Amino acid sequence: MDHRPREEKCRYRREHRDGGCFRFLFRLFVVVVLGVLLLKFVLRDQFPIGALRDSVGVVRVDGPIYDSTAAAKALREMGKDKHVKAVVVRIDSPGGSVGASEEIYRGVVRLREKSKKPVIISMGNVAASGGYYIAVAGQEIFANAGTITGSIGVIATDFNIEEILKRVGVKPEIIKSGEHKDGGSPLREMTPEERHLIQDVIFDMYRQFMRTVLSARHKQIEKAMADHPADFVTILGPERTKKPGGAIEFDAFTTGTIAAQAGATTETETALRQMADGRVFSGEQALKLGLIDQIGTYYDAVERAGKLGGLGESPTIFERTAERSWPAMLGANARRFLQEVSGSGASVEYRSGAN
C-alpha cells in the first residue's frame, strides 16, 4: 500500500505524465525531421522543386570537368522552369574531359535556343580550356580582373611503366583483335605510328575547339583588334609573329579553313590561333583580346541577367545544389593516374596543362 500523502502522489503522477509527453513530442520531432530529410534526398531528383517566384537561375560548374550529368540536368530544369527568367552559369574550372565539357556547352546552347532566356557567364578563379569552352556558349561573359582565362587547346597524357615492370620481373601478355587496340597502353612504349594517330585526334579536337570559339567570339575579337591593336602585340608578344611550321598549332589546319566555317575573317582566325596555343591570360588581358565581354563579379553577372530577364538589378536568385559524383570529387591528377594504370589509354582532355 502506498502511504505517501495524497498531494505528493498527485505531484508524482503529474511530473511523470509531463515527462512522458515531453519525450513523446521530442521523439515525434526527430521522426518528422528525419522523414523530411529522407524525402528530400529520395525525391529531389525525381521531383525537383522549382523556383517559387520569378528569379535568376544559377548553375555552377566547379572543379575539374569529368561528369556533365548534374550541370546538364540543372540547365534543362532552368530552361523548363517558368519562374526562371534568366540564367547565370558560374564557372570555376581548369577544364577536363572533352566529352563532358562539350555536353555542358551544348546544354547552354540548347537552353538559349529553346527557352530564349538570357544566359550570362560568370567566371571565378579560373575558366580554362574546357571551362572556357563552356563559357563561349553564353550571351555575355563576365570575369574578374585576375581570372585565369583561356588555355584554348587539347592535351593528351600517357604513362609508360614498362621499365618499372621489368625491374620487378613482371611481363605483361597482351591479346588483341587489331594492331592499334592497345595503343596508348602504359605497359609499353608508344610507337611512332600510334603517336601520329593520337596527334591526328588531338588536331581534330583542336579544330573543333577553334571553330566553336571563333564562331562565338569573332565579332568581339575583331572589335578588340580594331580598338586596341597595340594590346595584341603587347599581350601576345613575339608569338604574334608565329609562322606556319614555327609552332605545332599551325600544323592543325590550313589558314582560312576555320574562318570559312565560322563566318569570320582570316585575320581574326590567325589572331585567335596565336592566342590558342594553350597559354592562359588574366581577365584584363582576355578583355583586351575579345575573349570576354566585361570585368565583373558574380553579382554583377546576376544583376545583368536580372536586367535582361526583366527582373531589375536586384533579382531573386534560385539555385539547385547538385551532388557531385565520386569521379568528379577525385583530384584531376589522381583520376588521370587511375585511368592510365588501368590501361584505358591516353587521357585526352580540354584542360589547362598546369592542372
What would the 3-class secondary structure string for the chain be?
Answer: CCCCCHHHHHHHHHHHHHHHHHHHHHHHHHHHHHHHHHHHHHHCCCCCCCCCCCEEEEEEEECCECCCHHHHHHHHHHHHCCCEEEEEEEEEECEEEHHHHHHHHHHHHHHHHHHCCCEEEEEEEEEECHHHHHHCCCCEEEECCCCEEECCCCEEECCCCHHHHHHCCCCCCCCCCCCCCCCCCCCCCCCHHHHHHHHHHHHHHHHHHHHHHHHHHHHHHHHHHHHCHHHHHHHHHHHHHCCCCCCHHHHCCCCCHHHHHHCCCHHHHHHHHHHCCCCEECHHHHHHHCCCCEECCHHHHHHHHHHHCCCCCCCCEEECCCCCCHHHHCCHHHHHHHHHHCCCCCEEEEECCCC
Q: How many residues does the chain have?
A: 355
Higher pLDDT, 113 or 256: 113
User: Per-residue pLDDT tens for 150-177?
Assistant: 999 998 887 788 788 888 888 888 888 8
The proportion of the chain whose per-residue pLDDT surpasses 70, expressed as a percent, equals 74
End-to-end CA distance of the chain: 82
- By annotation, the residues acting in catalysis are 129, 181
Hey, what's the cell of 41? 534526398
pLDDT > 70? residue 254: yes
Task: Give the pLDDT score at 59.
Answer: 96
Q: Quote the pLDDT of residue 16.
A: 53
- Predicted pLDDT at 213: 97
Please report the pLDDT score of residue 132 as a whole number: 98
Query: According to the model, what pLDDT value does residue 228 have?
Result: 87
11-24 pLDDT, tens digit each: 545 555 555 566 66
pLDDT tens across 196-253, in order? 888 899 999 999 999 999 999 999 999 999 998 998 888 987 654 455 445 667 677 8
pLDDT value, residue 46: 45
pLDDT digits (tens, 9 = 90+) for 27-86: 777 777 676 666 555 444 444 455 578 999 999 999 999 999 999 999 999 999 999 999
Say which range, 103-117, 181-195, 246-260, has the weakest mean pLDDT. Answer: 246-260
**Predicted pLDDT of residue 342:** 47
Looking at residue 44, what is its pLDDT? 46
Q: Write the CB contacts of 72 (distance below 8 Å, at least 6 apart in sequence).
A: 103, 104, 107
The CATH classification number of 55-158+183-351 equals 3.90.226.10
Kindly report the average pLDDT of the chain as a whole number. 82
Q: What residues does each domain of the chain span? A: 55-158+183-351
pLDDT score at 346? 53
pTM for this structure?
Answer: 0.78
